Structure 1
Amino acid sequence: MSPNTIRIHLALLSHLFNTARTAWGMESLTNPVDLVKGQRPKLPSGRDRRLVGDELPRLLAAAQVYGGEIGPIITWAIETAMRRGEIAAMRREHLDRRARVLRIPETKTGTPRRVPLSTAALAVLDGLPRRLDGRVWGMRPDSISQAFERVCKAAGIEGLTFHDLRHEATSRLFEKSLGLMKVASITGHKTMQMLKRYTHLRAEDLVGRLG
């Protein structure tokens, strides 16, 4: 198991014992998780991979040659900061075209959210054929990752995963001068700590703001 999975399991176990003591009348119980506080695994440093140089046009060009939906999906991911599973699960009835908002009823954190759509994101939707089953995309999450890996290989891009596009998108939202709460409402991050792990601002992009 990954360090974060172990931390989540420990947190659940700790909550169970605390609930048993406070709500179920088992005051004599000792929370065993308290005994290993100093021995919990530390989370690894977050990935900081972003698109650099001409990687984006190379990526999109290779995706166009590859064909299918992966090209529009790449653009959509960068414009919305949505997770792979959220993208694959998109349905037309969740789109409010007039308000330029997409509703995501099921998320990784369990909290539904509404994602504002940029002009570029709307252009992606307008370029897609309407499916009879109501879904926006025909690709499953694993198919998206596989296609992305092949496109990266064709473009000669190394060390980039599809999930890195969420890091890229989150960082771009901050570069558009959106505040913490606004970015968090778009990305769905629950804590500022997690939001920080997904944000990688480049010093050269901040120079112009210093005057």
Structure 2
Amino acid sequence: MLSVFRFFQPAALGQWVISMAKPYREGGVWSFRLRVQGQSLYRTGFVTAEAARKEYGRLKQILLSVGKPAHAGPFQTTLGQALQAYALERFPFMKGAVQDASRVNRYLRGVNLETVRVVPPITSGSSTAKSAVHWVVQLDPAGQSRAIPKSLKKHRDSQRARTDGTDRIRKQLAQTPMAKVLPYQLQELMDTMGKEGYQPATLSLERALLRRLFNYARQSWNWPEPAHNPAKGLNLPKVDNARDRVLTNAEWVRISQALEESGQNPHVAPLLALLLETAMRVSEPLHHLSWGDIDWDRYILKLRDAKSGAREVPLGPGAIKILRILEAGRKGGDDGLIFPVTYEAVKAAWTRACASAGVEGVNIHDLRHTAATRFTLELNGNLPVLKVITGHKTYSQLNRYINVKPDDVSRLLHGRPLTEAEAPAGLHMLASSPKSLDQVEPASSEKGGPGNVIPLFRKAQ
């Protein structure tokens, strides 16, 4: 049986009406029209009148049993329209809405729908009250061109050329009524993404967005179709995103020098240095850190929001030095964000600096791994203290970030020295010789400050 949905104009919302003309021949197939609770459906492509009657009965029973659906219902709402409505309703309460908005917009742009933009709500810089609302969601006009920095244009052009197949399938899905989306279509999307070089973790996140959408439509919008979530049970490659890359002091010095010589955004270098000195996630100082969040007397940084909720970050001597230097260049009365820079700009600067410094296989989040490993050595493995620094909720989460290597253990077992250059970035060895891991300079020492990153701020002094 080949059946096709078409739609005609519904009557006033809330009207509980059932109407049906008998199945009728249309060309070489049978068709019918059905109107239930404001939803007007037209189906065609049935081989026999009996097949059309059976489908009519099934649809009528489903639509009457669940009650009136929200919005236009699953038969008259495309996947693109549903994603847009879902973003408007749920993204204000989702911490990861920035990343999900980017995924949603790939569907919306393909069918010329208004795109989603999330911005932080306007709050008092000194307010510490918790709020369930993390973002304000806005719609930008369809077809509006995005401002892409010149430094990213070549990368974006290459990315678009590489993902033609994925974009084509997204466009097809965005035009498909929600009730008609089938698992094989989503499996085709996942397979094509894999062939075009997307990482397994990216596939998993894409599938998770679609799975949440269909669950939300069924549970919150009262949509009866599709009867089963088509995003469940898909075959995806195994996600293995464990990282164990730890920068050495030698690598960090080269990256620091490359950042200084680049003359790029003045906020990037101190931000990266602060990540290394605090083990924070890059999103925490970027999105949540303002001058009113620093308690200078307690050496504490108050994050009003973070991945695991509000927390206080201890500030060591190195972090205090960085913030004091930034404070010296602060405009009077400015209580806004300490780092008014986008993640895209930070990532681009980091990528260029690593390439210039000849440091391979490292990303920004590896600074968190490096800091956790460095503090583990400085604190002689004091995990309760380290958990406060990193903000992890469990020791199993924390252990993923402590990346002591077999070479480190072998060095300990044989009493071989650990040089300053080989040590995790930010870890400073005592001046005595030979140097080993039991001769780490205490984190509380003033010499423990980031001597190898201070040159980054010479222009600000």
Q: Check whether TM > 0.5.
A: yes
Q: What residue identity is the alignment partner of 1:197?
A: R
Give the structure 2 partner of residue 200 of structure 1: 403
Correspondence for 2:369: 167
Distance in 2 (CA, whole Å) between partners of 1:183 and 1:6 is 33
Summarize the Cα distance change of 1:8–1:146 in structure 2 as closer, same or farther, 3 Å threshold. Answer: same
The one-letter code of the counterpart of 1:118 is G
- Note the aligned Cα RMSD (angstroms): 3.1
Corresponding residue number in structure 2 for 1:47: 243
Match of 1:63 in 2: 259
Determine the C-alpha separation between the residues in 1 that align with 2:256 and 2:239: 33
Cα drift, residue 71 of structure 1: 1.8
Within 5 Å, give how 1:11-26 maps onto structure 2: none
In structure 2, what is the Cα distance between the partners aligned to 1:93 and 1:130? Answer: 13
TM-superposed CA distance for 1:42, in Å, is: 5.5
| 1:104 to 2:300 alignment | no
1:151 aligned to 335, 338, 353, which one?
353
Change (3 A) 1:8 1:112: farther
Q: Secondary structure at the match of 1:54?
A: helix
Residue of structure 1 equivalent to 2:392: 189
2:161 is aligned to: none
Distance 2:404 2:365 in 1: 17
* 1:135 partner amino acid: L
Q: Deviations over 1:137-163 (max 9, x none)?
A: 121222211111111111111111011
Q: What amino acid does structure 2 have at the position aligned with 1:204?
A: D
Aligned CA distance change for structure 1 residues 196 and 42 (closer, same or farther; 3 Å): farther
1:127 to 325, 338, 358: 325
Identity across the alignment (%) = 30
Q: Normalising by structure 2, what TM-score? A: 0.37
Secondary structure of 2:240's match? coil
Alignment pair present for 1:139 and 2:335: no
Q: What does the per-residue CA deviation read over 1:140-195, in whole Å, with 9 as the maximum and x for residues that have no partner?
A: 22221111111111111111101110110111111112522221222121222221
Q: Which of 276, 292, 299 pairs up with 1:93? A: 292
Residues 200 and 8 (structure 1), Cα distance of their counterparts in 2 relative to 1, 3 Å cut: farther
Equivalent-residue separation in structure 2 for 1:60 and 1:116 (angstroms): 24
Aligned partner letter, 1:194? Q
Q: List alignment gaps of at least 5 residues for structure 1.
A: 13-35
* Higher strand proportion (structure 1 or 2): 2
How far apart, CA to CA, are the structure 2 residues paired with 1:178 and 1:93?
Answer: 32
User: How far apart, in 2, do the equivalents of 1:183 and 1:174 lie?
Assistant: 7
CA contact (8 A) 1:6 1:41 kept: no
- Residue 134 (structure 1) shift: 2.0
How far 1:53 moved relative to its partner? 6.0
Aligned residue number for residue 82 of structure 2: none
- TM value normalised by structure 1: 0.76
| More contact order relative to length (CA 8 Å, sep ≥ 6) | 1
Distance 2:286 2:241 in 1: 28
- Residues 258 and 356, structure 2, Cα contact 8 Å, conserved in 1: yes
Structure 1 CA distance for aligned equivalents of residues 401 and 302 of structure 2: 22
- Superposition deviation, residue 69 in structure 1: 2.1
1:184-207 CA-to-partner distances (Å, cap 9, x unmatched) read 222121222221111101443772
Q: Contact 1:46–1:198 at 8 Å: present in 2 too?
A: no
Identify which range, 87-96 or 134-143, moves more after superposition. 134-143
Q: 2:282 aligns with which of 84, 98, 106?
A: 84
